[in-house]
């Protein structure tokens, strides 16, 4: 193994690390500035060493080298830059595609202009090896910025594990086939171009079929969300129509009482109306601008009033967009929280307290209620303690939240006041 070849490998591996940082910028990922030099040095050193060592260990090792380097690189990005695994994988894969294609085309370009150049010279001669890497970087940068122009496409890939796995598969096929002539030391331009074209067609077929399927799933989810929004708005409009209808009836009753000189009865009736409107029309509810969440809380509020229970709403700030979760699933969780709280509060005729807070980095929603019996949080949700319906509701919540690592569900119980709380914390951002 030549030291100068290893050094060149390390230098261009550092360039690869820098390109990864550029790609992370496409996703608006903020990285601690002080981490960057250390990341580039470690990334370059480890990848340069691995590339140099594995290239001289035979055909089998050389064949699996792209996969091995890819896994190591993704882990380095995740742990050194503190980035989510999915974003780490996607950022490196986009660079990997550029380098896979660039590396294959670079050798082809050099041999095209100098037919006497052999594959062994490309990987052993320091000057040709450096030239190959420079051409590879240029092609890679062009491909990366071409992909960058499809911003919406990148955002779609980012949110799909299936598309990321399809991209990994495409990278492996491209890298293995395009770099095959490096491993065997024989170059045939016709065979090489045929391999590249077939690999690109096959990889594109797999990837874009996955892409189309994912888009169809998104469209289906959007339609379901729209149906849910319509139902939520329908419930809100029904409540408004009911209020207008009741208001007309209430005025008629008060007017009749006054005509009959039943002033005390009119006062009592008016007091009941004011009390009802105070409990059922908290203005803080209107700071929840999300139609789905507003609709589910409003409908549960109506259910609580029918049961003679008050839902006290307290809030900080506003809740508009709720990122990273289907609104229908969030509303299902909040609905279960409120149903369980109302079920318990109905026995005690105690109010349920709903708190929300819209902070810059998080959204918090909590439901608090008094309990008839003490709660063991370790046993909470099991059929033996809370009944089959309560247990099923909590299982549904756990199934939903298992898909969202940026959402936490914290439970607490205050023994002295016998108050149980379900707290949902939603982190904003990626």
Domain count along the chain:
3
If asked whether residues 117 and 20 sit together in one domain, one would say yes
If asked whether residues 275 and 322 sit together in one domain, one would say no
If asked whether residues 320 and 370 sit together in one domain, one would say yes
Residue 202 forms part of a structural domain: no
Average model confidence (pLDDT) across the chain:
78
If asked whether residues 401 and 419 sit together in one domain, one would say yes
Of 264, 281, 298, at which residue does a domain stop?
281
Residue 428 forms part of a structural domain: yes
In 260-382, which residue ranges form alpha helices assigned H by DSSP? Answer: 263-280, 291-306, 327-348
DSSP letter for each residue of 338-369: HHHHHHHHHHHT--EEEEEEE-SSEEEEEEEE
Residues 122-154 have pLDDT tens digits of 778 889 889 988 998 998 899 888 877 766 566
The pTM score is 0.48
Residue 326 forms part of a structural domain: yes
Largest Cα–Cα separation, the chain: 114
Full domain range(s) for residue 244? 214-281
Task: Give the pLDDT score at 98.
Answer: 82
Residue 34 forms part of a structural domain: yes
If asked whether residues 168 and 250 sit together in one domain, one would say no
| Residue corresponding to tokens 């240029």 | 138
If asked whether residues 295 and 425 sit together in one domain, one would say yes
The rounded distance, in Å, linking the Cα atoms of 419 and 421 is 7
If asked whether residues 69 and 79 sit together in one domain, one would say yes
Residues 317-340 have pLDDT tens digits of 888 878 778 888 888 899 999 999
If asked whether residues 227 and 252 sit together in one domain, one would say yes
Task: Give the pLDDT score at 353.
Answer: 93
Q: What is the mean pLDDT of residues 28-33?
A: 76
Of 118, 152, 187, at which residue does a domain stop?
187
If asked whether residues 142 and 233 sit together in one domain, one would say no
The continuous run of DSSP H or E covering 408 comes out as: strand 407-414
If asked whether residues 294 and 153 sit together in one domain, one would say no
Task: Give the pLDDT score at 278.
Answer: 55
430 pLDDT band, cuts 50/70/90, is very low
Of 224, 247, 281, at which residue does a domain stop?
281
232 pLDDT band, cuts 50/70/90, is low
If asked whether residues 10 and 110 sit together in one domain, one would say yes
């Amino acid at each position: 193994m030549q030291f100068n070849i290893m050094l060149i490998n390390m230098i261009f591996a550092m360039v690869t690390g820098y390109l990864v940082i550029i790609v992370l910028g496409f996703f608006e990922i903020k990285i601690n500035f002080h981490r960057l030099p250390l990341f580039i040095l470690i990334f370059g050193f480890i990848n340069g060493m691995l590339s140099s060592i594995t290239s001289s260990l035979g055909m089998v090792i050389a064949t699996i080298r792209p996969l091995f380097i890819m896994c190591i690189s993704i882990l380095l990005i995740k742990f050194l830059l503190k980035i989510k695994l999915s974003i780490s994988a996607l950022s490196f894969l986009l660079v990997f595609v550029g380098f896979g294609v660039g590396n294959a085309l670079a050798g082809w370009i050099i041999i095209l202009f100098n037919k006497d150049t052999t594959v062994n010279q490309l990987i052993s001669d320091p000057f040709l090896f450096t030239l190959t890497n420079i051409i590879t970087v240029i092609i890679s940068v062009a491909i990366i910025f071409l992909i960058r122009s499809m911003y919406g496409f990148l955002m779609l890939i980012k949110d799909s594990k299936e598309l990321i796995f399809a991209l990994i598969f495409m990278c492996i096929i491209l890298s293995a086939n395009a770099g095959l002539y490096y491993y065997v030391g024989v170059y045939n331009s016709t065979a090489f171009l045929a391999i590249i074209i077939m690999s690109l067609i096959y990889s594109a077929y797999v990837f874009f079929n996955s892409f189309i399927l994912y888009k169809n799933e998104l469209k289906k989810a959007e339609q379901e969300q729209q149906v849910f929004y319509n139902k939520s708005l329908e419930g809100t409009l029904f409540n408004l129509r009911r209020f207008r209808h009741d208001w007309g009836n209430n005025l008629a009753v008060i007017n009749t009482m006054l005509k009959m000189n039943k002033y005390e009865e009119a006062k009592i009736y008016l007091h009941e109306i004011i009390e009802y409107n105070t409990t059922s029309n908290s203005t803080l509810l209107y700071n929840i601008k999300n139609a789905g969440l507003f609709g589910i809380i409003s409908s549960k509020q109506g259910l609580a009033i029918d049961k003679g229970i008050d839902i006290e709403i307290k809030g900080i700030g506003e809740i508009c967009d709720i990122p990273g979760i289907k609104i229908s699933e969030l509303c299902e969780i909040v609905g279960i929280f409120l149903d369980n709280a109302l079920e318990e509060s109905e026995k005690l005729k105690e109010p349920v307290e709903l708190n929300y807070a819209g902070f810059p980095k998080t959204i918090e929603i909590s439901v608090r209620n008094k309990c008839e019996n003490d709660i063991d949080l370790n046993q909470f949700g099991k059929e033996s303690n809370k009944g089959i319906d309560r247990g099923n509701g909590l299982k549904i919540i756990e199934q939903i939240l298992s898909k969202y690592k940026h959402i936490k569900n914290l439970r607490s119980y205050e023994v002295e006041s016998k108050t149980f709380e379900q707290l949902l914390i939603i982190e904003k951002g990626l």
